């Protein structure tokens, strides 16, 4: 007869050991599965990431500027419409009052049917279409009613237009807030990366920015000196035959001649702001973003140009080849055209680069050039 012994059960101690061993194995496996912590990014890697974030912030800034410009335009249009509606309503009230006075006088003298009182207390549109009513009114009353009818129709259209613009304004304000938040988020992320650097690394980056600004100042001074020498040479040779003025670059930014007096004034205004800080969404006089600088500069030359870089591409004459640029031309960068500056001669651009920098000269080769515009 077969034995039916029950299998021997593991002792409690053995179960405990096995359980602890398994748990330890799982823990070790989990630890080994985790990726080794990444090494701290180098200063150059941080700078590259920060520069990318600043570029993305600049893209969002131009969209913010566009929404802000649209908001200001809508606010002006709505204000104008609301003024028109208020004035129109006053005119309608006055016309109705005059017509009511005329009707009352005629009624007292027995010269008007009492139905006119009902006509004056309701919407004239519902009565003007009824010939039986018109037959009972004088020509003067009919003309007055038609005038009221036309003005009320116009008021209705203006109210509808104002309502549509108010809705558009609400949407634009929402977009403005979204873009502002997007810009700030990019700047905060960039600052967080910068804060991860050591004191020595931060100092090295700051010194690099300071060198760029100093180089810009030296470039500006040299340009002024070269221009003074050039003007002096022209004066001394003005009596010689065959001497002609040219618009060619002299080898340093700012020393060539702009193509027109208006462009010269705008370019000179921009030069006067060398060293002013870049702050997104601003357009002078003490801080600028890229299109804020160019639009402010042209305003000093008594010419209004659009606020955003993308809109500024639609004015003037397009210059595709960089070799055809002249000092003072607007120059645009990146495929989405989110950056603009002034061509400064000798392959240089005068611009407000990005957050953390100042208005300065830089080589155009630092950015992907698209085309120029001569205003």
| Residues with catalytic roles | 290, 339, 351
CA distances from 197 to 118, 168, 258, 357 (A): 82, 44, 43, 19
Q: How many Cα atoms are found within 13 Å in the side-chain-facing hemisphere of 329?
A: 26
Say if residue 195 is exposed, middle or buried (CB neighbours under 10 Å; 0-12, 13-18, 19+).
exposed
Q: Is the dihedral of CA 105, 108, 109, 112 positive or negative?
A: positive
For residue 298, how far is the Cα from the chain centroid?
17
User: Which string of b and e fits 57-90 if b means at least 16 CB within 10 Å?
Assistant: bbbbbbbbbbbbbbbeebeeebeebeebbeebee
Nearest-10 crossing angle of helices 199-236, 43-108: 70
Are 308 and 69 in contact by the 8 Å Cβ rule? The answer is yes
Angle between helices 290-300 and 261-271 (to 10 degrees): 130
For residue 132, what are the contacts with CB-CB under 8 A and spacing of at least 6?
Answer: none
């Amino acid at each position: 007869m077969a034995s039916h012994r029950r299998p021997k059960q593991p002792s409690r101690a053995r179960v405990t050991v096995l359980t602890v061993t398994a748990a330890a194995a799982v823990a070790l496996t989990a630890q080994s599965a985790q990726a080794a912590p990444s090494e701290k990014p180098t200063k150059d890697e941080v700078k590259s990431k920060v520069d990318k974030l600043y570029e993305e912030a600049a893209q969002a800034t131009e969209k913010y500027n566009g929404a802000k410009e649209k908001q200001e335009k809508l606010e002006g249009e709505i204000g104008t419409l609301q003024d028109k509606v208020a004035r129109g309503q006053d005119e309608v009230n006055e016309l109705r009052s005059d017509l009511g006075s005329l009707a009352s006088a005629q009624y007292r003298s027995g010269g008007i049917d009492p139905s006119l009182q009902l006509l004056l207390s309701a919407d004239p549109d519902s009565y003007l279409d009824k010939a039986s009513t018109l037959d009972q009114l004088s020509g003067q009353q009919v003309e007055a009613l038609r005038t009221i009818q036309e003005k009320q129709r116009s008021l209705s259209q203006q109210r509808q237009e104002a309502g549509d613009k108010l809705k558009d304004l609400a949407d634009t304000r929402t977009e403005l807030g979204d873009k502002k938040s997007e810009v700030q988020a990019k700047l905060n992320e960039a600052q967080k990366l910068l804060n991860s650097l050591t004191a020595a690394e931060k100092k090295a980056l700051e010194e690099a920015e300071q060198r760029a600004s100093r180089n810009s100042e030296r470039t500006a001074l040299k340009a002024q000196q070269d221009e003074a020498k050039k003007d002096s040479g022209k004066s001394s040779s003005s009596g010689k035959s065959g001497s002609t003025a040219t618009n060619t670059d002299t080898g340093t930014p700012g020393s060539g001649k702009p193509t027109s007096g208006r462009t010269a004034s705008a370019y000179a205004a921009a030069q006067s702001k060398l060293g002013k800080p870049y702050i997104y969404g601003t357009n002078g006089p003490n801080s600028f973003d890229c299109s804020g600088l160019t639009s402010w500069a042209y305003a000093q030359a008594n010419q209004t140009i659009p606020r955003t870089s993308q809109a500024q591409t639609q004015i003037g004459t397009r210059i595709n080849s960089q070799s055809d640029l002249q000092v003072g031309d607007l120059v645009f960068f990146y495929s989405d055209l989110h950056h603009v500056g002034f061509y400064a001669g000798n392959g240089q651009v005068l611009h407000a680069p990005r957050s953390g920098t100042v208005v300065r000269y830089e080589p155009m080769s630092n950015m992907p050039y698209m085309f120029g515009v001569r205003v």
